[in-house]
Amino acid sequence: MNIRDLNYILAVSETGNFSKAADICYVSQPTLSGQIKKLESELGVSIFERTNRKVEITAVGEEILAHARQIISEAETIKSLARNYQDPLAGPLRIGAIPTVSPYVMPLILEPIKRDYPQMRLVLTEERTEQLISRLKHHEIDAALLATETFDSEFESTPLFKEPFWVAYPADHRFYEMESVNTAELMNESLLLLAKGHCLADQARSICHMAGNNPENEMADLRASSLETLIQLVGAGYGVTLLPALAMGGSWTSGSGVIAQPLDDANAYRQISLVYRKSFPRPQALTALADTILNRIPNTVEPLANPS
Amino acid sequence: MNIRDLNYILAVSETGNFSKAADICYVSQPTLSGQIKKLESELGVSIFERTNRKVEITAVGEEILAHARQIISEAETIKSLARNYQDPLAGPLRIGAIPTVSPYVMPLILEPIKRDYPQMRLVLTEERTEQLISRLKHHEIDAALLATETFDSEFESTPLFKEPFWVAYPADHRFYEMESVNTAELMNESLLLLAKGHCLADQARSICHMAGNNPENEMADLRASSLETLIQLVGAGYGVTLLPALAMGGSWTSGSGVIAQPLDDANAYRQISLVYRKSFPRPQALTALADTILNRIPNTVEPLANPS
DNA sequence: AATTTACTATAGATTCTATCTATTTAAAAA
DNA sequence: TTTTTAAATAGATAGAATCTATAGTAAATT
């Protein structure tokens, strides 16, 4: 059986005439006759009673046709459904981002994406690196904004930008008097970190250790679950912390009693990449996303590619 | 698009593996890969995300598959539906018969048909010749038992038997004394006829006229609408009538005060045929019907063919 | 690090099959 | 009878689906 053949019998039933049906189907009359005959012998029943003067559908033919109509309509549905998805930018694009990136990057791009790619529908999730990678593997998201290298060969990643770390301290801190703060200065400071599982915590710690430092108080009990909390803790005098550059745009930056300045160390940065399955079938959508991010990030970070 | 291709993607989605899917579909793996690729490019979307290690269905793929399942199931329905009809004897066979044949032939064959062809389903109607022919033309019935020749080239007919006419008269009628009654004797008798439209009425009249007779009282006001009524009228002394041989089996034959005997005239018969459209696609079913009739008719009628 | 395993994709040959044009057949209309 | 109308048939051709053989690729195993 064959959807085309079903269309043939539908045309015949509508015209009551093989020749006209053939015209409608854009085939010759012998072709249509032959195919219907073939279908009939395949099914073992006659669908039409033919006379030279007219064609009448049989009882089985009528029943077959009822189902044929269903099939034809379902097939049309599939086609139109595919047409809607045909634009590789169209359809849902499920993006995950880590919590120290998401609140600073997403606000930058949501508007421009909506304007430039109205057919694209972003579905956002915010989770830590580990979960995001697992979700990527299980096809629960299509791409992730991560600050870590991924060595999984199933994935590919597009580096987006280098994001320098800034040091944040209370207004009454000794750093306030200093023109620049380098990693060595972090020695003996109480370094406040995010909760376990946040890659930012590991990165901040490793930056401190870079210069051979071993900050006095990694205050395990005070580990925050968000940057916002972290800043509150800094303002309350519990210690200093390292913040990613993009977090500088937050509302806390003025009048919170917390001061921030770039760390004076060329290596004190993290790299943000867009990670996705090699096999993801709509790379164009990801390119559009990456381009938008690259076009919108402020000059406090260093882009790693030119938007195409 | 193609139902076969839809089966391919269904198999892949179920096995998560092109090679296994190919086995299930009894084709080689490259064939299946190629056809799915073709389908994808035809639809303009990818249905699967392929990796060397596993195959995952895409979002569109999932939607397409939902409709594909419908299509596949409808196609199966068509096939099984056709299988049920495949036996040319199976399925409804719609038979019409004229009122002067139906009540005498149908009781003879219903049981044997049910026994010998259990898959056959007879649908009976009883109407006059004209209506039956119209119904035949309009595909409302498939065949008709008629007592008239049909010259419509759309139809074909199988002669079944010659049915002699008997003459019926009251027990106190002069015919009762006679050894035989011929058509000439009908002269000057009151001949009772069926209502207009019944071919039997015309036939009875034409038999009387054959011998140059012109019966005195064709009692227009008393024309009966059934043979049963006609017999009542004869019994009540309103006249005589001609009855077809098969009607002799009726319950009236004993103790109703009506006597019947064969008309002594070799030409006083009517011919009963099975009439059907030349294009009717299940002639076997009609042959089965005709055979059963020929096997069951009593020897008061003369069969016109040997049952095959 | 090298080999094996388990997949899918690609290439080229072959077999089917749908299609075409031209013609035949058959019945109805003129 | 001839003409018209419509389906069936025949034979050729182009296009698709299929096959086998092989390449390519990543993961698992040695």
CB A50 to CB B83 under 8 A?
Answer: no
Give me the mean pLDDT over the A89-96 stretch. Answer: 89
Alpha carbon A268 to its chain's center? 28
Q: Is the pLDDT of residue A187 over 90?
A: no
Task: Measure the CA–CA gap between A45 and B170, rounded to whole angstroms.
Answer: 55
Q: Is the pLDDT of residue B219 over 60?
A: no
CB A74 to CB B77 under 8 A?
Answer: no
Searching chain B, which residue's CA lies closest to the CA of residue A64?
Answer: B78
Whole-number pLDDT of residue B76: 86
- Find the Å distance, CA of residue A294 to C1' of nucleotide C11: 42
Task: Answer positive or negative: Cα dihedral of B24, B29, B35, B36.
Answer: positive
User: Is A72 an 8 Å CB contact of chain B?
Assistant: no
Task: Answer positive or negative: Cα dihedral of A150, A153, A154, A160.
Answer: positive
Q: How far is B142 from chain A (nearest CA, A)?
A: 10
Average pLDDT, chain A: 87
- Find the Å distance, CA of residue B13 to C1' of nucleotide D24: 24
Searching chain A, which residue's CA lies closest to the CA of residue B282?
Answer: A46
Does any strand D atom come closer than 7 Å to the Cβ of A155? no
Give me the mean pLDDT over the B94-104 stretch. Answer: 94
Give me the half-sphere count of Cα atoms (radius 13 Å) on the Cβ side of residue A15: 14
The amino acid that residue A159 corresponds to is P
User: Is B59 an 8 Å CB contact of chain A?
Assistant: yes
For strands B155-170 and B269-277, give the pairing: antiparallel
Non-local (6+) Cβ contacts of A152 within 8 A are A133, A137
Whole-number pLDDT of residue B212: 57
Task: Measure the CA–CA gap between B286 and B288, rounded to whole angstroms.
Answer: 5
Give residue-wise pLDDT tens across range A253-290: 666 789 999 999 888 999 999 999 887 888 889 999 99
Going by C-alpha positions, the residue among A82, A240, A100 that lies closest to residue A171 is A240
Contact residues, chain B, for A68 at CB < 8 Å: 74, 78
Whole-number pLDDT of residue A251: 67
Task: Measure the CA–CA gap between A187 and A209, rounded to whole angstroms.
Answer: 9
Query: Given its phi and psi angles, is residue A208 left (phi above 0), alpha (psi -120 to 50 degrees) or beta?
Result: alpha
Q: Which residue has the tokens 């008629």?
A: B146
Non-local (6+) Cβ contacts of A30 within 8 A are none
**pTM, whole model, 2 decimals?**
0.70
Give me the mean pLDDT over the B118-142 stretch. Answer: 89
Contact A293, A282 (CB under 8 A): no
Q: How far is B262 from chain A (nearest CA, A)?
A: 43
Closest CA-bearing residue to C1' of D24 = B52
User: Is A267 an 8 Å CB contact of chain B?
Assistant: no
Looking at A132-146, A210-224, B254-268, which range is the least confident one? A210-224
CB A79 to CB B1 under 8 A?
Answer: yes
Alpha carbon A124 to its chain's center? 7
Chain A stretch 115-154, residues whose beta carbon is closer than 8 A to a beta carbon of chain B: 139, 154
Average pLDDT, chain B: 87
Q: Is the pLDDT of residue B215 over 70?
A: no
Closest CA-bearing residue to C1' of C21 = A28
Whole-number pLDDT of residue B294: 96
Q: Which two tokens stand for residue A137?
A: 């593997």
Give me the mean pLDDT over the B149-173 stretch. Answer: 90
Whole-number pLDDT of residue B105: 95
Task: Measure the CA–CA gap between A201 and A46, rounded to whole angstroms.
Answer: 75
Q: Which two tokens stand for residue A120?
A: 């694209």
Q: Which residue has the tokens 């550059």?
A: A245
Give residue-wise pLDDT tens across range A28-84: 899 999 999 989 988 988 898 887 677 888 888 888 988 888 888 888 888 878 887
Q: How far is A303 from chain B (nearest CA, A)?
A: 31
Going by C-alpha positions, the residue among A6, A15, A131, A116 that lies closest to residue A61 is A6
Per-residue confidence at B41, pLDDT binned at 50, 70, 90? Answer: confident
Q: Is the pLDDT of residue B193 over 60?
A: yes
Element (H or E) spanning B15, and its range? helix B3-15
* Strand D, CB < 7 A, residues 272-291 of A: 278
User: Is A90 an 8 Å CB contact of chain B?
Assistant: no
**Cα distances (Å, whole numbers) of residue B82 to A42, A48, B148, B305:** 9, 13, 36, 33
**Cα distances (Å, whole numbers) of residue A47 to A10, B141, B281:** 11, 17, 9
Q: Which residue has the tokens 């309103």?
A: B238
Nearest CB neighbour to A2, from listed B3, B45, B58: B3
Q: Which residue has the tokens 């997403």?
A: A106
Going by C-alpha positions, the residue among A135, A138, A137 that lies closest to residue A124 is A135
Q: Return the number of CB contacts < 8 Å for A and B.
A: 109
Element (H or E) spanning B96, and its range? strand B91-97
CB B1 to CB A64 under 8 A?
Answer: no
Non-local (6+) Cβ contacts of A248 within 8 A are A166, A260, A300
